[in-house]
Structures are given as structure tokens and as C-alpha cells.
Structure 1
Amino acid sequence: MQGHSDQGHTNHESHRESHEGAHGDYHSGMVKEFRRRFWVALIITIPILLLSPMIQQFLGLREQLRFPGDQLVLFILSAFLYFYGGKPFLVGIVREVKTRDFGMMTLIALAITVAFVYSAAVTFGLPGEVLYWELATLITIMLLGHWLEMRSISGASRALESLVKLMPSVAHRIKNDGTVEDIRVDEIQSQDTVLVKPGEKIPVDGTVVEGESSVNEAMITGESTPVYKGKDGDVVGGSINGEGAIKVMVTRTGEQSYLSQMIKLVQQAQQGKSKTQLLANRAAVWLTAVALVGGAVTLVVWLILGVEFAFAIERTVTVMVIACPHALGLAIPLVIAVSTSISASRGLLIKKRPAFESSRSIQAVLFDKTGTLTEGKFGVSDIVSLDESFDRDKLLLWAASVEAHSEHPIAKAIVESAAQTLAVSEFRAIAGRGAQGMVEGKQVLAVSPAYVKEKGYDYQKGRVSKLLESGKTVIFVIVDEKVTGAIALMDIIREESKEAISRLKAMGIKTVMITGDNQKVAQWAAWEMGIDEYFAEVLPQEKVEKVKEVQGRGLFTAMVGDGINDAPALATADVGIAIGAGTEVAAETADVILVRNDPRDVVSILELARASYRKMVQNLFWATGYNVIAIPLAAGVLYNLGVILSPAMGAALMSISTIIVAVNAKILRVG
């Protein structure tokens, strides 16, 4: 058995590595490549600096560091650094030229090529000063910038790998004869039953068929509190079983599992082009043109002014480095990667990136009521005692005792609300009206208002009228022919709904509820939750018209529903949000999928969208704003005042901008 388990582990590792290869190997390889090239470049740069005349003169060590053939050695070291350290940029310019998609690689490659070719010409006879030291520092700094950037991107993508690693490699399958065998997870089939022991990770999506436990779903939904799971409870592969052993019937395997679909959605979101990203790409093209034209103009103007060719070339190189849109290429993708990782870890799955970004502009949110703002099942909301000898608890206890023998949904709701029940004799159902039985020697009836009216029972109508007027379902409790109280039931409002509505209104967003319930029920529910507006008695196919009506007021609108029967409305809204999708993560029409049945996650996704947009704008500023000042300085407009930027300083400024962009994206926080 041990050998079999090891084999399962090996195969699972292979399966895991195939996932990680799709998501992480590229970035991991790029990180290693730039790290290696950076360290080699840094080592080579040190002797290049020491052999460069300008640096020797600056250090006052010109005589001490000179030796026969030193300039030839300097050329050889610089040539090696140009071809080895500069390879990523030289390969990049070839690719950009072929695709006619000029960008940052073109600028860097042009800058280092101009510097190297010019310096080589000086080494072999052309009058002027060599720029090898600037070439070396430029390449080294650029490699460092690339390394840091790729490492940041790789780090932001690790959420995908962590999702895969959630899955155990072996499962305990229960055979037909009741014995248990350990098999590889990828051998499990739908309808199989597996045993999950206390403390183990649940290997599959399924339904509990025996046992009960609390399950930690924090890595799946972001909810830190363990969730109780009993018979018929749904569990998700990757979550952690608590204190009890449970038997789970498999419902989804492989690519259909929640975790696999979650990984797919996160991957699509990270790869998707956002509106802001497209804007950044257009800005990069313009900066490329500015760099090429600016470099050419700088060279020509300085030559016309009669300066040395070496100085003109130096100004040209610096302009190209300063204008390089390198940080711009990172500004948006890194924010996307970080925000997607944050959302996935909290159970907020971004399916369509442009719609998610647009959600920052939402002005109205329409909620489907049943199953979204409410739990979708009846529960006791009010208990009114009309007899001093029956307090609220006793009234509920006696009613639940009678209703425990009934199969009616309302009866079940009353029983579920009671802590216990008493023994009942002579039980009898009253067709269409309720039920009756003997409790502790007294005749107890739990009946509808229609029955009370038909029989002409007298009671304190004022105390019950509000319940009846609110549209709630009311059950009267009659003990020995006396009306002792009333119990009101309604679709239970989720505890989180009020907070969600309050937070949305604080954000200046109008809240609207759509329900098929009657006007009274809708009015009461809207008042209870603080909702601005409601549409009652709306048929499922009419929800689309209500969405269009709100849009017709000029409001950018989101629709929040269960992702199934609300599909047309979700598709019609500017942003469709499927809430409480649980394992139903493939809701085709939704733009954003919220795993938990928690309306507050709607607020979270809007806050994340706003925070992400702010980071994108900040990064675009840091990536391009410094050009306004730096490019003229690089060109030498303040040369007469003694202010001048060298290529190395230009590279340093550009790299600082890049690092600021990377750090700014990484510190994205929500809530």
C-alpha cells in the first residue's frame, strides 16, 4: 500500500507540475535568466569602471591603474558585456522590428548599441571619449530592473500555484463491500464515495452522505471561520476537514472541479487585456516615437551647435534611456496580477477583466432578493404572545411540537426554529389550514389566519395586524380553544445583507431589490434592509426590463443574482455579478463570480476595482510623468547652467521609476 501511495504522489506531482508549468515556469525561468545575467554583468562592470579613463580621473588613480593594452582589455570586456548582458535587449529589438511593434526593447537596444559602437570606434582611432563605463552601468542597471520586475510578476502569480498545491495526492475510496482503499486522486470518478478523516484535506468536490464536521474553507473562500457540514452538505476539494470523519460522494472531478475552474478563471483574468492596459500600450508607442525623434533631434542640434561628437552621442543615448517606456510596460500588468491574486484568495473571481474595471463606476446595484439578500428558505421572524401564561419560548415550543408531525415547509421552518419539541398525541392534519394535537394534556392547534377567521376566534387583533399587513406568513397558536399567540415567518434575510446595503449607500451607490414577492413582503424586506427602491411581483423573464429601466435613468448598473435563473439580467447589466455560486463557478453570463453567499462581497469587489484603478493611475504617472522633466535635462537644455544627466543617471532614474511602480502595485490593499 505504501508503494501504491508513493506512486499516486508521484503522478499527482507530475499533474501538479503541469499546472505550474503553465502558470509559473515562464516567469520563473525569466527571473533566473535576468538574475544570472545581472550578476555576471555586475562583476564585469567593476573592471570596466576601473579601466575607464573618466572614472580613473574622477578617482585620482589614473596613473596607478594604467598599463599597456589596458584599452584593448576594456574593449574586450565591454564587447562581452554588450553581447551577453545586452542579449535580452538585442533579441527584443529584432522581435519588435519583425512585428513592427516598437517599444522598450528597441529603445534599450538602440541606446547600448550606439554607446558600444561609438566607444569601439574611439578605441580604434576615432577622436573622442569612450563610453564603455556608461554602457556597462546602463546594461547592469537595466538587467537589475528587469530582474526585479520579473520577480515581482512571478511573486504575484504564485496564488495560482498555491491553489494547485491545495489538493492532496491520495484519497480513501470506500468500496462496495465497505472496505477502504487508498487511490490516486486522479483515479476518482463521479459518484464514488470517499472517506475524509479528521484534519485531512478534502480531495474532491462532493456531498456529505454520512458524518458531520466543521470544514476550513479559508483558502477557497477567504472565510476564516470553519463551516459546519452535515448530511447533504456540499464540500469543495482543497478545503480542510475539522474534527469529524465524513463520507463524501463525489460530484465533480478533474477539470470540472471547483478548484480547476477557479484556476482557469484566475489565469484568464491575468492574461486578459484591460482597458487601462491598452491605454498604457498606446502611451508606450508614443513614448517610443518621442525617444527616437528626440534622440535624433538632440544629436542633430548639438552637432549643429558645434560640440564634440562624443558629447552629442552621449546626449542622444541619455534621451533614449530616459524616454524608455519600460516601467510603463509593467505599470498595468502587475496591478492586474496583484488584484487578481487578492480577489482569488478572497473568493472573488474576476471572469471578465474590462467589466471588473468598469465596476468602479457603478452607480446602482440591483439585487435579486431570494437566495441573494435572503437565505431562500422560511424562518421565524416574529413571535407574539397573547396569553400571559405563554411566553415566546413556550409558544414556539408547543407549536413546533405539533408541527413536527407535519411535512409542510412552513411546519418544518417552525420546528427548525425551536430548540426542542414535546411529545404529541392524537395528531391530525387540518387540510389546507394547519395541524392539531395533544400536548401535555391540552389541545393545541397551529393554523392559518383563514382558519381563525372561519371559526370566529376572538383575539387581540391590534398586536397581530402589523404582521399580517407586512405580508408575512402568520400561524396562529390555539390552546384549548383560546388564541394564545401568533408566529410570523418569512424568507430569512441574511445577517450580512443589511451591512452590505449600508456600505453601498455610504459609497454613494443606489440600491435596488427585484423580487417576485407581493408588494407587502417586498416593502417590508426593503425597509428592513434599508434598500432605496424595490420592484415587486416581477417574473423571472421580466427582470431584464427592470435592469433596462434603471439603466434608462443614466445609471451605470450592476446586477447581482445567483448566476442561473438571473442569467438574462446578469447579461443585460453593465456588470453582472453571480453571488453564492459555490461550486457553480462556470456561470456563463456573469462578469464576476462571488463564491460565498455573502452580499458584502459585492462591496469588496467594488472596493477592489476602485483600489486597482487608483494603483493603475498612480503607476501610469510614475512610469511616464518623470519624462516631462527628465527628457529635456537629458537633451542638455540646462547645459549652460551646469545641469546635465549622463546615460547612467538616466538609466538609474528609469529603474527607480520601475521599482516604484513595482512596489506601488505590490502594496495594493483592500479592506
Structure 2
Amino acid sequence: MNAPVTAQRSAQSSSSQPQTGLGALWRPALKQAFVKLDPRQLVRSPVMLVVELTALVTSVLCFVPSPTVSTALGVQIALWLWFTVLFANFAEALAEGRGKARADSLKSGSQGLMASKQVGAQFQSVPASSLRKGDVVRVEAGELIPGDGEVIEGVAAVNEAAITGESAPVIRESGGDRSAVTGNTRLVSDWLLVRISADPGESTLDRMIALVEGARRQKTPNEVALDILLIGLTLIFLLVVATLQPFARFAGGDLPLIYLAALLVTLIPTTIGGLLSAIGIAGMDRLVRLNVIAKSGRAVEAAGDVHTLLLDKTGTITFGNRRCSAMVKAPGVATPELAEAALLASQGDDTPEGKSIIEYLASLHPMAVPERSGMTLIAFSAETRLSGADVNGVAYRKGAVDAVLAYLGLGRSDLPAPLAREVEKIAQSGGTPLLVAGNGRLLGAIHLKDVVKPGIRERFAELRAMGIRTVMVTGDNPLTAAAIAAEAGVDDVIAEATPEKKLARIRAEQAEGKLVAMCGDGANDAPALAQADVGLAMNDGTQAAREAANLVDLDSDPTKLIDVVQVGKELLVTRGALTTFSVANDVAKYFAILPALFAGIYPQLGTLNLMQLHSPQSAILSAIVFNALIIVALIPLALRGVHIQALDAGQLLRRNLLIYGLGGLVAPFVGIKLLDLLLVGLGWV
């Protein structure tokens, strides 16, 4: 194959993450708060649109002479109403700003990018933006991969720092489960022939940009449902406020229109209405910071309600490679002799297992290793299942039990009874026993085991406390699978797993009304990923897995699924907590303000004015000020999210009702009374 003429031009990629601190974002967010006053933008938030329209009406009424409302009071009410809208916009803009900085960085990295596209037997330099699904491109060392695709020829190291932030190169090759490549990542060695797998606008980079740019984010079903609830509550309170004037007129009194407009704003759920969009965008931002791309917001919401979590054993629960964990000496053999033989026999074993034996022995029995030039190394092979070294005329061998016994000319019955029992015990525990021989003599055994990752048991315990059941999926035999499952602390295990078994288990769980999450990277995982409510595919896995899943982890870390569940729960709980707080606020404000507002018309209501607010003017202004300030106070919580503790759904509901429900009822009484005293003391009313 002829090498193409390199004609790639691109902006310098950077692995550094953009600064997303509040200090660097508040200025552009403040500007956007005014831009978002455009009703065409506010229509996405019906509650805040009502507040803006009310602010407009109130601003006009300020200049209409009124015997009961002074111009100064009218101006104050109008200003606080505008303040309410602006800070709701500010919260949304602040949440959007966190992602836009990274989006701009990603966009700049792909501008002007060229690709070497295969046209017949030749390669032509074309803009990367012109590539379509199915096109084949060749990428040389030092060039950027022009789009998402699958390696069809070649092996190379790829730096994915521009996407994942991780500077360590990863190997990508044709065939297998590590053939997928991501656009805008850089080749650091060799060359690759890549078949493009996504049209413009559908690549990982495009999805990432769309996800972090909150303005383009589609509302999730939960947000849509909340919008419907908020619109319903707004209509109810609009009806309530509209009927107050007839009641007042019937009693021979009158309520100024500006009071009614302000009262409407204080009663409708402005708190959650102003923060709902910011909560959703901030939740997606937390997901992006985990380097997870969501194809839909529904997947993130579903993650928050997951009942069952299917996790692949290899690489997720365990390190994936068996490691040396212990040594057992044969009768009459000294420990140093066994250690030296195992160390020498492992010098020719370049497998992860062989390296782990060397690491284990180096930490326990430091000893000098002869120069390799003085040894004859026997490399491990699948055929012999042995590795070893001949040193100074002495042969050292290490390998599978049957292979070493055959090498020594022995049978299973020739194993010393104590050693035979230890070998059997290792096998029954799910480990792999290896025998070690030196100078024609059996010296002992090595225990290889699939090591469970530290801290994973505690993480499963947290999930269990949240009501999530964990299921380990493995191709191991039931005995080995059970041993590892017990050590890891999972709730259930699927041994000797096949695609059909995974699919059947997911469908069985869903038939019981449960939401199921699963992670995978191979083509054989695609059916299960597509069936699961939450499917997390590894970015370095096969194209089939990435297309089947609704979440893609750019770091290719299967344990990320646990973090995704955490983000999903935080998102749902934050919305629920602030909705509870907002509705409780509205109820409290209703009973706090109306007695003071109607005391002059219905003197009997004076007994219900438990807060002893100074006057109707101070009551309405205090409520408007409180309504605006409470949004400001809750912005940090909306952006950060409510911290999820290890509680089940019932406990979590009781906790949030106590904190945010009771807090929402108490806060207005305390806040409005303090503001009433302050405003009267300042002489503003």
C-alpha cells in the first residue's frame, strides 16, 4: 500500500481541562442572564416566562397613579421581580458555562482538520468534515484521526488526551475488542487504516460538544413531567389570585393590581422553575467530567432508578489478570529454595501472570537474579504450558500441574499428599495452581488468583444500601465464579455466561418491573447492552457495542457504571428535593401573606396574621424579596447536587421530606418576618 501525501492541518490539541471554577464563569454568565430575557428563550421555562411577563406588567403599573400604592413601592416590586428572572437565568447560564469552555476547546481541535481518504487505489487529501460513514482513511504517526471509526488494518499507539484527558497512549488494532478509535485523537506511532463509522454531527466529539452545551440539550422525561406539574400549579395559583379581587370587591375593599401580580409570582413555584434547567445541565456536566457521553438524557435518569447492575468480572470486579498471591512448598523443601526456583523459572514468562510472580517474590524474598546472558530461557507457550530457565546446568521449570508432572515423568498420584491437598484447595477456591520444579525435583506450588480490586466490596455495599442488586457476569466455571463473587461481595453471579444468558437475565429482571444497567465492550455484549435500560459501552471496544449502548465511557473503565448510577440518583434526588422545597415554600407563603394582605378588608383575618407583619405593603414586598433571594441561595445546591447517602428509597424520601419539606415550610415564615422587620426599619415601606 502506498503511503499518502500527508496533508493534515489542525489546531494544537490540548489535554488540559478547561477552567470551570465559578470565579471564571460568573462574568459571561451574568451577560447571558440578560440575553436569556428574550421570551423566545424563556418559553422553555414556562414559570419564569410568567415571572417575566408579570415583571413587565408591574413595570408599566409603576407609572400608573394609584391611591394605595406609592411609585417607590411599585418600583421596588418591579425591580425585585426582574431580579428574580435574571438570577434564574444566571443559574442556567452558569451551569451551561461549565461545559461551553470544554466545548470550545474541542471545537478548536477539529477546525481545519484534513484526512487522507481512500479513493480507488489512491489516497486523496479532503476536509475531515466531508467524510461520511463507510469512508476509509489512512492515518500516519503524528496525525489526528479525522473521525470515529474502526481499525481495519494496522496496529498503532493512540494518544486520546484530547478526549479523555489521559496522556498515556493506548494500543488500537484491527480485529478483536480494541479496534474502535475516536475522532480528534492523535496517532503517536505507526499507521492505521480506519473505516469511518459516523456521519458529521454523530461522532463522539459532536455528541460531547452537544452534551456540554446546555442550550442544545433536550429535556429529559423527568424534566418534562416536572414542567407539566409546574404549569399546572401555576394555572391553579393564577386562578386563585384572579378570584381574590372579586372577593375583595364583595367585601367593599380593593386589591391593587400590582399586589395581585406580585402575589402571583410569590405563590407559583418560581424556586424550582428557576433552577430546573440549571439542575439538569449541571447533572450532565458532572457526567461529562466523568468522561461519559450520554446518547439521551433518558439513560441518565434511568441510571438513577436502576434496580439491578450487571458487571463483567474481568477488568471490573477483578484486575483481569491472575496474580501470584501465595506459595506452598513441598515437604522437605526450604522456602528460599522454592522462591529462587520460581523466580528463575519465571524469567522467560512475559505473560502478566509470570510478571506477577516476579513482583510477588521481589517483595517477599529480595534476591539477586543472574544475568540473562548466562541463562537459557524457555518462554511460556500455550502448547507446553511451561516456562523456565537453565542456569549453570540446572533446569528450573514452572507451569500447569499436568505439564510440570509430565516434564518430570510423574503422575498425579506421585504428588506428595500435603502438596496434593494444597493444590486441590487452590483449585476449589477458584484459583489456578502452578507447580515449580528444580534440578529434576518437585519443589512446590504457586497460587494464582484473579485479584479483586481494592475497595470494590465497599462500593457494592453502598449500592446494596441504596437498594441496587449487583450481579457478576463471568465466563468462569461456577466454582471459580462463586469464590470470586463471595470475595467481592456481589449479590448474585452468572457463571459460564453467554450472550444468550446475559440477555435472558436482563429480560427476566425487566419482566419483574426492574430497571437494569449493564456494561460491556465486545460484540457479544451488544444484544445485552441494547436490551438493558442503561447500557454503558467502552470507548475502546467494538463498534457494535458502542452503537448498542446508550452511554459511552471515554476512559473505558467498566467501574464507571457505578459512578453513572450515582450521578443519575443525584440528578433525580436534587430535582425532587428542590421541588419539595419549592412547593412547601408556596404553601407557607400563601398562609403567611394572605392574612396580612386581607386584614384591612376582612378584620377578622387579623387573628390569622400570626407573623404580625407590619402592613400589606411590607408583607407583599417582603415576600417578593424572599422569593428572589431564595433562588440565589439555592444556586450552589442546584449546581452541586444533593449528596446521596447509602439509603434505600424509603429512607431517602423520609430524609428529604424532613429536610426540604419541613425546611420549605419553615423558611418563608422566618425569612419573610425578618425581611418585614428590615424593610420597615429601613423605611422602604
1:626 matched to 2:585? The reply is yes
**Change in CA separation of 1:431 and 1:142 when aligned onto 2, cut-off 3 Å:** closer
Tell me, in whole angstroms, the C-alpha distance in 2 between the residues paired with 1:172 and 1:388. 65
Q: Which residue of 1 aligns with 2:342?
A: 396
**Change in CA separation of 1:230 and 1:606 when aligned onto 2, cut-off 3 Å:** closer
Give the deviation of 1:302 after TM superposition: 1.2
1:296 matched to 2:242? The reply is yes
Q: Which amino acid aligns with 1:154?
A: A
Q: Which residue of 1 aligns with 2:140?
A: 193
Task: Indicate conservation of the 8 Å contact 1:350/1:593, yes or no.
Answer: yes
Give the deviation of 1:422 after TM superposition: 4.0
1:657 matched to 2:633? The reply is no
Q: Deviations over 1:196-217 (max 9, x none)?
A: 8xxxx9999899x99999x795
**Change in CA separation of 1:666 and 1:557 when aligned onto 2, cut-off 3 Å:** same
Give the deviation of 1:508 after TM superposition: 4.8
Q: Which residue of 2 aligns with 1:439?
A: 390
Give the deviation of 1:341 after TM superposition: 0.8
1:576 matched to 2:576? The reply is no
Tell me, in whole angstroms, the C-alpha distance in 1 between the residues paired with 2:355 and 2:631. 63
Task: Indicate conservation of the 8 Å contact 1:173/1:194, yes or no.
Answer: no
Q: Which residue of 2 aligns with 1:455?
A: 410
What are the residue-to-residue correspondences of 1:109-148 with 2, within 5 Å?
109=53, 112-113=56-57, 116=60, 120=64, 122=65, 128-129=67-68, 132-148=71-87
**Change in CA separation of 1:593 and 1:450 when aligned onto 2, cut-off 3 Å:** same
Give the deviation of 1:306 after TM superposition: 1.5
Tell me, in whole angstroms, the C-alpha distance in 2 between the residues paired with 1:612 and 1:479. 61
Q: Which residue of 2 aligns with 1:24?
A: none
**Change in CA separation of 1:282 and 1:550 when aligned onto 2, cut-off 3 Å:** closer
**Change in CA separation of 1:251 and 1:163 when aligned onto 2, cut-off 3 Å:** farther
Tell me, in whole angstroms, the C-alpha distance in 2 between the residues paired with 1:437 and 1:607. 48
Q: Which amino acid aligns with 2:101?
A: E
1:282 matched to 2:228? The reply is yes
Tell me, in whole angstroms, the C-alpha distance in 1 between the residues paired with 2:547 and 2:48. 38
Q: Which amino acid aligns with 1:142?
A: L
1:272 matched to 2:239? The reply is no
Give the deviation of 1:461 after TM superposition: 1.2
SS in 2 for 1:273: coil
Give the deviation of 1:630 after TM superposition: 2.5
Tell me, in whole angstroms, the C-alpha distance in 2 between the residues paired with 1:632 and 1:412. 70
Tell me, in whole angstroms, the C-alpha distance in 2 between the residues paired with 1:105 and 1:428. 73
What are the residue-to-residue correspondences of 1:599-614 with 2, within 5 Å?
599-614=558-573
Task: Indicate conservation of the 8 Å contact 1:375/1:491, yes or no.
Answer: yes
From 413, 416, 429, give the equivalent of 1:470: 429
Task: Indicate conservation of the 8 Å contact 1:576/1:589, yes or no.
Answer: no
SS in 1 for 2:138: coil
Task: Indicate conservation of the 8 Å contact 1:221/1:595, yes or no.
Answer: yes
Larger radius of gyration: 1
Give the deviation of 1:267 after TM superposition: 5.3
Give the deviation of 1:155 after TM superposition: 2.2
SS in 2 for 1:272: coil
Give the deviation of 1:403 after TM superposition: 4.5
Give the deviation of 1:499 after TM superposition: 4.8
Per mean C-alpha deviation after superposition, the further-off stretch among 148-157 and 448-457 is 448-457
**Change in CA separation of 1:603 and 1:317 when aligned onto 2, cut-off 3 Å:** same
**TM-score, normalised to structure 2's length?**
0.67
Q: Which residue of 2 aligns with 1:305?
A: 251
Task: Indicate conservation of the 8 Å contact 2:573/2:642, yes or no.
Answer: no
Tell me, in whole angstroms, the C-alpha distance in 2 between the residues paired with 1:548 and 1:269. 36
Tell me, in whole angstroms, the C-alpha distance in 1 between the residues paired with 2:292 and 2:137. 27
Q: Which residue of 2 aligns with 1:414?
A: 354
SS in 1 for 2:442: strand
Give the deviation of 1:342 after TM superposition: 1.5
Task: Indicate conservation of the 8 Å contact 1:360/1:609, yes or no.
Answer: yes
**Change in CA separation of 1:337 and 1:391 when aligned onto 2, cut-off 3 Å:** farther
Give the deviation of 1:291 after TM superposition: 3.5
Q: Which amino acid aligns with 2:82?
A: L
Q: Which amino acid aligns with 1:458?
A: L
SS in 1 for 2:616: coil
SS in 2 for 1:455: coil
Tell me, in whole angstroms, the C-alpha distance in 2 between the residues paired with 1:627 and 1:521. 58
1:368 matched to 2:312? The reply is yes
Tell me, in whole angstroms, the C-alpha distance in 2 between the residues paired with 1:136 and 1:556. 52
Task: Indicate conservation of the 8 Å contact 1:35/1:144, yes or no.
Answer: no
Task: Indicate conservation of the 8 Å contact 1:325/1:623, yes or no.
Answer: yes
Q: Which residue of 1 aligns with 2:506?
A: 547
Q: Which residue of 1 aligns with 2:290?
A: 346
**Change in CA separation of 1:346 and 1:402 when aligned onto 2, cut-off 3 Å:** closer
Give the deviation of 1:105 after TM superposition: 2.9
**Change in CA separation of 1:666 and 1:490 when aligned onto 2, cut-off 3 Å:** same
Tell me, in whole angstroms, the C-alpha distance in 2 between the residues paired with 1:444 and 1:338. 60
Tell me, in whole angstroms, the C-alpha distance in 2 between the residues paired with 1:499 and 1:92. 45
SS in 1 for 2:300: helix
Tell me, in whole angstroms, the C-alpha distance in 2 between the residues paired with 1:547 and 1:210. 35
Task: Indicate conservation of the 8 Å contact 1:371/1:562, yes or no.
Answer: no
Task: Indicate conservation of the 8 Å contact 1:157/1:337, yes or no.
Answer: yes
Task: Indicate conservation of the 8 Å contact 1:116/1:135, yes or no.
Answer: no
**Change in CA separation of 1:501 and 1:399 when aligned onto 2, cut-off 3 Å:** farther
SS in 2 for 1:281: helix
Give the deviation of 1:117 after TM superposition: 5.7
Q: Deviations over 1:129-149 (max 9, x none)?
A: 565444433443233333322
Q: Deviations over 1:227-269 (max 9, x none)?
A: 465797999777899xxx8667585887676444433455589
Give the deviation of 1:33 after TM superposition: 6.9
Q: Which residue of 1 aligns with 2:496?
A: 537
Tell me, in whole angstroms, the C-alpha distance in 2 between the residues paired with 1:537 and 1:7. 49
Q: Which residue of 2 aligns with 1:485?
A: 444
1:323 matched to 2:284? The reply is no
Q: Name stretches of at least 5 consecutive residues in structure 1 with no aligned partner.
A: 14-26, 38-86, 175-182, 405-410
**Change in CA separation of 1:467 and 1:331 when aligned onto 2, cut-off 3 Å:** same
Tell me, in whole angstroms, the C-alpha distance in 2 between the residues paired with 1:631 and 1:431. 78
Give the deviation of 1:333 after TM superposition: 1.6
Tell me, in whole angstroms, the C-alpha distance in 2 between the residues paired with 1:170 and 1:317. 53
Give the deviation of 1:337 after TM superposition: 0.8
What are the residue-to-residue correspondences of 1:588-603 with 2, within 5 Å?
588-603=547-562
Task: Indicate conservation of the 8 Å contact 1:579/1:596, yes or no.
Answer: no
Task: Indicate conservation of the 8 Å contact 1:381/1:490, yes or no.
Answer: yes
Q: Deviations over 1:32-61 (max 9, x none)?
A: 375489xxxxxxxxxxxxxxxxxxxxxxxx
Give the deviation of 1:549 after TM superposition: 4.0
Task: Indicate conservation of the 8 Å contact 1:623/1:657, yes or no.
Answer: no
Q: Which residue of 2 aligns with 1:165?
A: 105
Q: Name stretches of at least 5 consecutive residues in structure 2 with no aligned partner.
A: 1-6, 15-25, 117-125, 360-368, 607-613, 645-685
Give the deviation of 1:540 after TM superposition: 1.8
Q: Which residue of 2 aligns with 1:32?
A: 31
Tell me, in whole angstroms, the C-alpha distance in 2 between the residues paired with 1:7 and 1:367. 42
Task: Indicate conservation of the 8 Å contact 1:475/1:487, yes or no.
Answer: yes
Q: Which amino acid aligns with 1:155?
A: L
Tell me, in whole angstroms, the C-alpha distance in 2 between the residues paired with 1:562 and 1:431. 25
Give the deviation of 1:565 after TM superposition: 2.5
SS in 1 for 2:459: helix
Tell me, in whole angstroms, the C-alpha distance in 2 between the residues paired with 1:655 and 1:172. 51
**Change in CA separation of 1:383 and 1:434 when aligned onto 2, cut-off 3 Å:** same
Tell me, in whole angstroms, the C-alpha distance in 2 between the residues paired with 1:338 and 1:564. 33
Tell me, in whole angstroms, the C-alpha distance in 2 between the residues paired with 1:593 and 1:30. 29
Q: Which residue of 2 aligns with 1:62?
A: none
Q: Deviations over 1:359-403 (max 9, x none)?
A: 334343221223433454555454434332655653333322455
**Change in CA separation of 1:378 and 1:347 when aligned onto 2, cut-off 3 Å:** same
Task: Indicate conservation of the 8 Å contact 1:104/1:325, yes or no.
Answer: no
Q: Deviations over 1:618-637 (max 9, x none)?
A: 32134333222333555524
Q: Which amino acid aligns with 2:86?
A: W
